[in-house]
Amino acid sequence: MALPLRARGIEVHGVDGSEAMLRRLRAKPGGAGIPVTLGDFADVPVDGSFTLAFLAGGTFAELPDQATQARCFTNVAARLTPGGLFVLDAHVPEALAAATGPEIVSEGDDHLVLCYRRLDPSAQRYRSHYVIHEDGRTRHLRVEFRYASPGELDLMAGQSGLRLKERWGSWTGAPFTPDSAYHVSVYERP
């Protein structure tokens, strides 16, 4: 996501915990020119202040527990300028619970990615199993998540000094409705 933003003239500074992902970014045209700090994004290990901080692709749910998620809100709030925005996306927990069977994440003539989620409501966690078939090989990837309801996210934001500005049902700005399975939440530092 950093490269398309940079191509639009937006100054970007990334935080990533994976050296392998940093190498992948650096290998792409223009990737070497984007400053990225290696570290835990919950700690927001960068200097300066920003008008926008965002987490996309459900990344916020990869933080392992509520305390770490709350710490992320607090650290992001400390880096935002007045009027600055923190934007994140996530599944709606009720929609996760209602989902049955595998879903097709991506498919093409040369690849197929399937996802199956297993929920543990007692711990507000789920594990996504990805079956990826490409280049004639099939592999299995597991990713752990800690989900939070929109109301719980709003509470963590409020405790960090942020307030909900907008909530959409998608990145296209579709309305967030009772039938939404996904949300994009925009928090503002007053």
Helix (H) or strand (E) holding 76: helix 66-79
- Is the separation of the CB atoms in 126 and 119 below 8 Å? yes
Q: How far apart are CA 69 and CA 156, in angstroms?
A: 8
Is residue 60 packed enough to be buried (19+ CB in 10 Å), middle (13-18) or exposed (0-12)? buried
E strands, 24-102, are: 36-38, 50-55, 80-91
Note whether 21 and 61 are same-domain residues: yes
What pLDDT does residue 96 have?
84
Question: What's the pTM?
Answer: 0.89
Q: What residues contact 9, with CB distance under 8 A and at least 6 apart? A: none
Note whether 129 and 71 are same-domain residues: no
Q: How far apart are CA 124 and CA 149, in angstroms?
A: 10
What pLDDT does residue 148 have?
96
Domain of residue 104, CATH code: 2.20.25
Structurally, how many domains does the chain consist of? 2
Note whether 18 and 72 are same-domain residues: yes
Residues lower than pLDDT 50 in the chain: none
pLDDT digits (tens, 9 = 90+) for 133-147: 999 999 999 999 999
Note whether 45 and 58 are same-domain residues: yes
Which neighbouring-strand residues pair with 37? 15
Note whether 63 and 137 are same-domain residues: no
What pLDDT does residue 129 have?
94
Domain range spanning residue 138?
A: 95-145
Note whether 50 and 133 are same-domain residues: no
Which neighbouring-strand residues pair with 134? 111, 137
Note whether 19 and 36 are same-domain residues: yes
pLDDT digits (tens, 9 = 90+) for 120-132: 999 999 999 999 9
Note whether 16 and 59 are same-domain residues: yes
DSSP letter (8 states) at residue 190: -
